[in-house]
């Protein structure tokens, strides 16, 4: 009689300082699996065996790094290796380890891997991804990009690794504001994205004087992974527009702090030049906060304009118009909030996504 495995040995490869990697390893440990994580930083993740493996600093160190990564994986003797970003040489090491391996593809790994790398590395990446036991693109759009470059993979499961409804859910706005010390009557606009130029936060700042002509508002800026030069430019812009008392720099915001912050604000504005399917959008939607986002194809598979979010062109006038309309049109705002919550709960629910990948890993382990 063949005994079916119920508990897995999972060897993850990723950066333990990433909140995404932390959540996507810890969740399997919480389900009773034995999880190790090979990481280039020493951050400890609860219930996960953390294995420090420094990355290479130059091309000369690359072969040694690949060898050490293969050795570290083999020492764990896993049922499956789970790579949390499709970097070409890490994918190669996972294949050469000799174990079944899954690759979660985030978007930038696909765009950079097939758009920036020289053709030998692109060919290597395509070849190694084809050999993966499981591909796990983070959206249908990313899945389509991968298929364009490598053809149809026989075992592809798309998950958004969506919002964790144990943390991100609607709570009373008055209570949230009181806990954070915000005024109850001011319209609060949140920029939840990293403080980097790709997210066009300067356009939100430039939109603020137009907004202030119609409503009493303040702009809250998260400072996670801030680009120092860009932050300095924003501070100069804020001073030039006399907005020092209208823009609040929040400092570094942990993921644990974000649910309360989302629930305290009236609208979230995230307007990057390009994107995948960002967790900030999904988590804001889970908290029933209306999101203002740019017209990017990557969002269209999940979010409908003026039904579950508000699409804008990358112009301060468009951004201001959206903020004002959502503030004044209560029916539109409520429809977007309710539809956003429902959409994420049904299509981008973290617990459901974890269960899908767990089932896939168990099937792979039991087919060995």
| Percentage of the chain exceeding pLDDT 70 | 99
Extract the runs of DSSP E, i.e. beta strands, from the chain. Answer: 9-13, 34-39, 49-52, 80-83, 101-105, 134-137, 187-191, 217-221, 247-249, 267-269, 291-294, 310-312
Assess whether the region 9-162+349-366 and the region 173-347 belong to the same CATH fold: yes
Residue pair 340/290 in contact (Cβ under 8 Å)? The answer is yes
Task: Let me know how long the chain is.
Answer: 368
- Of 15, 9, 156, 135, nearest to 73 by C-alpha is 9
What are the tens digits of pLDDT across the range 294-351? 999 999 999 999 999 999 999 999 999 999 999 999 999 999 999 999 999 999 999 9
Please determine, for residue 247, whether its predicted confidence score (pLDDT) is greater than 90. yes
Taking only Cα atoms into account, the Rg of the chain, rounded to an integer number of angstroms, comes to: 22
| DSSP β-bridge partners for residue 364 | none
Residue 329 Cα to chain centre, angstroms: 30
Please determine, for residue 5, whether its predicted confidence score (pLDDT) is greater than 80. no
At the second CATH level, the architecture of 9-162+349-366 is 3-Layer(aba) Sandwich (3.40)
When pLDDT is cut at 50, 70 and 90, the band that residue 59 belongs to is: confident
- Of 244, 225, 224, 149, nearest to 234 by C-alpha is 244
When pLDDT is cut at 50, 70 and 90, the band that residue 2 belongs to is: very low
When pLDDT is cut at 50, 70 and 90, the band that residue 1 belongs to is: very low
| Percentage of the chain exceeding pLDDT 90 | 89
Q: Which token pair is 84? A: 């949390």
> In the predicted model, what is the mean pLDDT of residues 226-236?
96
Q: Which CATH class is domain 173-347?
A: alpha beta
Q: What is the DSSP string of 195-254?
A: SSGGG-HHHHHHHHHHHHTTS-EEEEE--TT--HHHHHHHHHHHHHTT-TTTEEE-----
Q: Name the residue with tokens 């790398």.
A: 117
Q: Which token pair is 23? A: 């959540």
Q: pTM of the entire structure?
A: 0.90
Count the Cβ atoms, other than its own, within 10 Å of residue 108: 15
Sign of CA dihedral 357, 167, 258, 26: negative
User: Reduced to 3 states, what is the DSSP secondary structure of residue 27?
Assistant: helix
Please determine, for residue 3, whether its predicted confidence score (pLDDT) is greater than 80. no
- Of 279, 289, 268, 284, nearest to 336 by C-alpha is 289
> In the predicted model, what is the mean pLDDT of residues 184-200?
96
Return mean pLDDT, the chain. 95
What are the tens digits of pLDDT across the range 251-264? 989 999 999 999 99
Please determine, for residue 12, whether its predicted confidence score (pLDDT) is greater than 50. yes
Domain ranges (residues) in the chain: 9-162+349-366, 173-347
Least confident of 49-53, 80-84, 175-179, 221-225: 221-225
What pLDDT was estimated at residue 224? 85
CA distance 275 to 287: 21
What are the tens digits of pLDDT across the range 118-171? 999 999 999 999 999 999 999 999 999 999 999 999 999 999 999 999 999 999
What pLDDT was estimated at residue 4? 64
What are the tens digits of pLDDT across the range 88-123? 999 999 999 999 999 999 988 898 889 888 999 999
What pLDDT was estimated at residue 330? 96
């Amino acid at each position: 009689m063949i005994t079916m495995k119920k508990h897995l040995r999972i060897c993850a490869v990723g950066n333990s300082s990433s909140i995404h990697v932390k959540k996507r390893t810890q969740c399997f440990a919480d389900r009773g699996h034995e999880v190790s994580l090979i990481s280039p930083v020493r951050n400890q993740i609860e219930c996960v065996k953390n294995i420090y493996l420094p990355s290479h600093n130059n091309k000369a160190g690359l072969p040694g790094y690949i060898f050490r990564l293969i050795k570290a994986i083999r020492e764990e003797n896993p049922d499956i290796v789970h790579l949390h970003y499709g970097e070409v040489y890490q994918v190669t090491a996972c294949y050469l380890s000799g174990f079944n391996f899954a690759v979660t593809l985030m978007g930038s790994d696909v765009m950079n891997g097939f758009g920036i790398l020289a053709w030998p590395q692109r060919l290597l990446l395509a070849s190694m991804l084809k050999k993966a036991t499981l591909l796990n693109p983070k959206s249908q759009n990313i899945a389509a990009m991968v298929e364009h470059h490598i053809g149809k993979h026989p075992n592809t499961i798309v998950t958004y690794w969506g919002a964790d409804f144990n943390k991100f859910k609607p709570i009373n706005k008055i209570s949230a504001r009181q806990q954070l010390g915000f005024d109850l009557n001011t319209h609060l606009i949140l920029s939840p994205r990293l403080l980097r130029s790709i997210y066009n936060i300067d356009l939100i700042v430039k939109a603020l004087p137009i907004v202030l002509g119609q409503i009493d508002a303040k702009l809250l800026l998260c400072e996670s992974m801030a680009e120092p030069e860009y932050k300095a430019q924003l501070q100069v812009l804020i001073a030039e527009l006399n907005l020092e008392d209208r823009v609040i720099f929040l400092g570094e915001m942990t993921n644990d702090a974000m649910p309360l912050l989302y629930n305290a604000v009236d609208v979230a504005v995230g307007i990057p030049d390009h994107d995948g399917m960002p967790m900030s959008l999904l988590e804001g939607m889970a908290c029933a906060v209306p999101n203002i986002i740019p017209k990017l194809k990557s969002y269209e598979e999940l979010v409908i304009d003026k039904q579950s979010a508000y699409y804008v062109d990358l112009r301060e006038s468009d951004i201001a118009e959206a903020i004002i309309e959502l503030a004044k049109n209560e029916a539109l705002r409520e429809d977007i909030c309710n539809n956003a919550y429902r959409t994420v709960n049904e299509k981008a629910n973290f617990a459901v996504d974890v269960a899908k990948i767990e089932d896939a890993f168990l099937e792979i382990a039991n087919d060995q």
